[in-house]
Amino acid sequence: MTDPAASTHPIPVHAHLSVKAVSPAVRVGLYTGALLTIVMVGSLIAANRLSWMDSRALERNGASYGLFLAIMLIPIFRFLNRPLKMFSSAMLAWGFFVIAYDIAGMFFHSLFQALRSPFEAFLEGAVVYGVCAVGSWVGGMVLLTRQHRIAPRRRRSDFFATHHR
């Protein structure tokens, strides 16, 4: 006789499947939000705590903006042909970032006076990602209509014959 407890797998099957059950949009959103937060914290520390970088403020800020913009584009390019997933993933990332931005305002007291409030930052991100999602949707519709030829009706009498019966 074999022991039934010895033959069971130590890791439950549902624990392995729960990782794959998370949507790609949620994963990309969480990773992007974490990366945006890391860049923001690094930029704030470089700007406020590293005095030796003050002479290179333009280069420091340019590098921060460029890295921030590149990370912001991750959900856009990942879900370029799926605008709803793009928007949901991007807004999850942006919401994650805005929460971290709000928390950073507790440590850097004049952050919101120097830049913008968390609500304004959230609205700016929502507008940017919303425009990208709508642009993706419209672009997809244009490409879809270009694949199907639209043939104009030849006779006007066909239209009136179906409506007068």
Which pTM value belongs to this model? 0.75
Looking at residue 153, what is its pLDDT? 63
With cut-offs at 50, 70 and 90, classify the pLDDT of residue 1.
Answer: low
**CA distance linking residue 154 with residue 19, whole number of Å:** 57
Element (DSSP H or E) covering residue 159: helix 156-163
What is the chain's mean pLDDT, rounded?
A: 84
Write out pLDDT tens, residues 84-115: 999 999 999 999 999 999 999 998 888 888 88
pLDDT confidence band for 3 (50 / 70 / 90): low
pLDDT tens readout for residues 24-63: 999 999 999 999 999 999 999 988 888 887 788 888 889 9
pLDDT at 68: 94
Where residue 8 falls among pLDDT bands split at 50, 70, 90? low
Q: DSSP character for 3?
A: -
DSSP labels, 56-125? GHHHHHHHHHHHHHHHHTHHHHHTTT-HHHHHHHHHHHHHHHHHHHHHHHHHSTTHHHHS--HHHHHHHH
Sole residue written with tokens 């928007």: 87
Sketch the domain layout of the chain as residue ranges: 20-149
DSSP per position, 38-60:
HHHHHHHHHHHT-GGGGGGHHHH
Those residues with Cβ within 8 angstroms of residue 44's Cβ, 6 or more apart along the chain or in another chain: 104, 108, 111
Which has more pLDDT, 136 or 14? Answer: 136
> In a 10 Å sphere around its CB, with 0-12 CB exposed, 13-18 middle and 19+ buried, how is residue 72 labelled?
buried
Residue 52 has what pLDDT?
83
pLDDT of residue 49: 82
pLDDT single digits (tens) 130-156: 999 999 999 999 988 888 776 666 666
SS3 152: coil
